[in-house]
């Protein structure tokens, strides 16, 4: 007879809980085991594979698949010229995308050691201290509508931020904006035109009185207030119809700016941030430089001085045209930079037409070659933006189309100036450029977003004038005049569309009369 310990040692338990071998479990042990099985049901034991088998296979990813496989979201074999997967699937392979050429970053260097002065910008709240609810409503009209019309198709901070901020602290500037808003209301509402115009003139006179008091204080902000006020006065006089008075006011502001801010030989660039005038935003300096160039190109006597009033020094060091422009703002900055380089020669363009053989100015040939190279590079970099804007339409097309016609007209005028009297010998000369200018201008004017009002930026009006006065193909010149006549009351800085169209008609009539006498 074996001992209890020997019995336990000789017994074994199978996986299903039964006793095997020589030993036998007692009834008490069996009852205890059954109670445990009822209170704790058996659970299936999950057997997981090894961790190494659960790791996702890492395969190199490729973005060089064909267009068809990318659309189907399947792995492409990348066979050339057609992938095998498309052939097995029985569809045409659309081929592979061409890799973009690597862009070489332009090497830039600082032009001058300088201190950049930036003034904080903010949108004027509507809680400004207005003397009446009517003034407040006029100001809201100026803020919400007039500023966008004045700024032109290309966005700018000057009208939408800088001037609105200045009106918050200066009553005279705020009253000037109210007078401009009332005058634009008079243009838009013929039935109440007399009432709006009367209010505008009264508000304008009050603003001028307040402006004299603000300027006489002679504090640090007096020059800045004077310059902003000059812009607003220029707008008011143009909208009111006193064009010559507006030009006189503009010349006075430019002379004051030259005298008070010492702009002679001051470094300036449209493609670099070089604000060397403390307390004056770059946007204010930019707009007066642009106005200075506009004054230089006005028609006058051959003996008139064509020099810049500001006499500012345009910097041209390390000038590299981008391969592709990022947006229309960058494209405009580079185009204006090229135009500033041409102004010593381009300012003589009216003289070439008006005085013919009396004009004996001949620019150097190397300058012409350099300008033409820059204009070709600009057109290449601008082409993708123009094509995209033509697809979108609306204000995007107006902005891009306006820049394109400005570039074409600049090219045409530069060629005319450098050719001199020889530029009027062939009737087909400049015809391709003129044809594109007229076609684009017609599309711009027919766009519903085109504003037939005063705009503080040059666009299609001066470009069509260049076509009328420099292209000798009669049909194109007549088309250009028709487009100008369809612009209504469009006014671009000092360029009045109706007046330019009338001048164009008079030019054609004078040429017909001379041909009849001959």
For 230-291, the three-class secondary structure string (H helix, E strand, C coil) is HHHHHHHHHHHCCHHHHHHHHHHHHHHHHHHHCCCCCEECCCCCCCCCCCCCHHHHHHHHHH
pLDDT, tens digit (0-9, with 9 covering 90-100), for 171-211: 999 999 999 999 999 998 989 999 999 999 999 999 999 99
DSSP state of 151: H
Residue 296: how many other CB atoms lie within 10 Å: 18
Confidence (pTM): 0.73
Q: What integer best gives the mean pLDDT of the chain?
A: 80
- Report the 10 Å Cβ neighbour count for 79: 13
Give, in degrees to the nearest 5, the angle at Cα 111 between 108 and 117: 110
Q: Say if residues 497 and 491 touch (Cβ distance below 8 Å).
A: yes
Stretch 40-52: mean pLDDT: 52
Of residues 339 and 25, more confidently modeled: 339
Q: Which residues of 345-367 are buried (b: 16+ CB within 10 A; e: fewer)?
A: bbbbbbbbbeeeeebeeebeeee
312 or 323, greater pLDDT: 323
Judge whether 436 and 444 are in contact, CB under 8 Å: no
Burial group, residue 498, by CB count within 10 angstroms (0-12, 13-18, 19+): middle
E strand segments, 95-240: none
Model confidence over 367-412: pLDDT tens digits?
Answer: 889 999 999 999 999 999 999 999 999 999 999 999 999 999 999 9
Domains assigned to the chain: 64-96 (4.10.240), 114-315 (no CATH), 322-518 (no CATH)
pLDDT surpassing 60 at residue 463: yes
C-beta of residue 383 within 8 angstroms of C-beta of residue 403? no
Residue bearing the bigger pLDDT, 220 or 456: 456
Q: Which residue has the higher pLDDT, 361 or 234?
A: 234
CA distances from 274 to 109, 163, 293, 333 (A): 13, 21, 19, 14
Residues 154 and 403: their CA atoms lie apart, in Å, by: 9
DSSP of 340-407 = HHHHHHHTTHHHHHHHGGG------HHHHHHHHHHHHHHHHHHHHHHHHHHHH-HHHHHHHHHHHHHH
- Model pLDDT for residues 259-293, shown as the tens digit of each residue: 888 888 788 888 876 656 777 888 899 999 999 98
46/37 Cα distance (integer angstroms): 19
Q: Which is higher by pLDDT, 358 or 375?
A: 375
Tell me which DSSP letter residue 156 carries: -
pLDDT at 45: 53
Distance of CA 289 to the CA centre of its chain: 18
Of 148 and 3, the one with more pLDDT: 148
């Amino acid at each position: 007879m074996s001992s209890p310990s020997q019995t336990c040692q000789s017994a074994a338990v199978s996986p299903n809980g039964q006793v095997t071998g020589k030993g036998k479990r007692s009834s008490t042990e069996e009852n205890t085991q059954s109670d445990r099985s009822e209170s704790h049901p058996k659970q299936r034991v999950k057997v997981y594979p090894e961790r190494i088998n659960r790791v996702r296979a890492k395969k190199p990813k490729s973005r060089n698949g064909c267009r068809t496989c990318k659309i189907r979201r399947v792995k492409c074999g990348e066979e050339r010229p057609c992938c095998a997967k498309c052939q097995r699937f029985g569809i045409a392979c659309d081929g592979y995308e061409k890799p973009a050429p690597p862009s070489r970053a332009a090497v830039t260097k600082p032009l001058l050691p300088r201190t950049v002065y930036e003034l904080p910008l903010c949108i004027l709240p509507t809680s400004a201290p207005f003397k009446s609810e009517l003034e407040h409503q006029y100001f809201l009209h100026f803020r919400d509508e007039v500023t966008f019309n004045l700024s032109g198709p290309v966005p700018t901070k000057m009208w939408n931020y800088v001037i609105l901020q200045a009106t918050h602290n200066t009553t005279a500037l705020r009253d000037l904006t109210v007078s401009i808003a009332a005058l634009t209301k008079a243009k838009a509402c013929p039935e109440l035109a007399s009432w709006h115009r009367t209010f505008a003139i009264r508000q304008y006179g009050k603003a001028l009185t307040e402006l004299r008091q603000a300027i006489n204080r002679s504090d640090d902000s007096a020059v800045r207030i004077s310059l902003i006020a000059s812009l607003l006065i220029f707008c008011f006089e143009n909208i009111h119809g006193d064009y010559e008075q507006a030009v006189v006011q503009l010349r006075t502001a430019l002379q004051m700016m030259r005298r008070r801010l010492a702009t002679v030989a001051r470094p300036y660039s449209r493609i670099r941030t070089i604000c060397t005038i403390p307390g004056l935003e770059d946007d204010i300096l930019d707009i007066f430089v642009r106005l200075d160039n506009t004054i230089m190109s006005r028609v006058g006597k051959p003996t008139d001085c064509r020099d810049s009033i500001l006499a500012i020094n345009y910097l041209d060091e390390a000038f590299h045209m981008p391969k592709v422009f990022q947006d229309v703002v960058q494209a405009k900055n580079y185009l204006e930079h090229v135009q500033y380089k041409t102004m010593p020669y381009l300012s003589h363009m009216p003289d070439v037409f008006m005085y013919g053989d009396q004009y004996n100015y001949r620019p150097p040939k190397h300058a012409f070659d350099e300008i033409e190279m820059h204009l070709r590079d600009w057109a290449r970099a601008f082409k993708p933006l123009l094509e995209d804007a033509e697809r979108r339409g609306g204000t995007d097309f107006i902005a891009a189309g306006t820049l394109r016609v400005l570039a074409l007209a600049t090219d045409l005028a530069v060629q005319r100036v450098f050719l001199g009297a020889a530029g009027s010998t062939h009737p087909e000369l400049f015809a391709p450029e003129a044809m594109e200018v007229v076609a684009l201008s017609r599309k711009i004017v027919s766009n519903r977003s085109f504003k037939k009002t005063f705009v503080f930026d040059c666009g299609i009006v001066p470009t069509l004038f260049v076509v009328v006065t420099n292209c000798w193909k009669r049909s194109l010149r007549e088309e250009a005049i028709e487009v100008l006549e369809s612009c209504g009351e469009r006014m671009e800085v000092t360029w009045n569309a109706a007046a330019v169209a009338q001048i164009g008609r008079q030019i054609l009539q004078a040429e017909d009369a001379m041909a009849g006498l001959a």
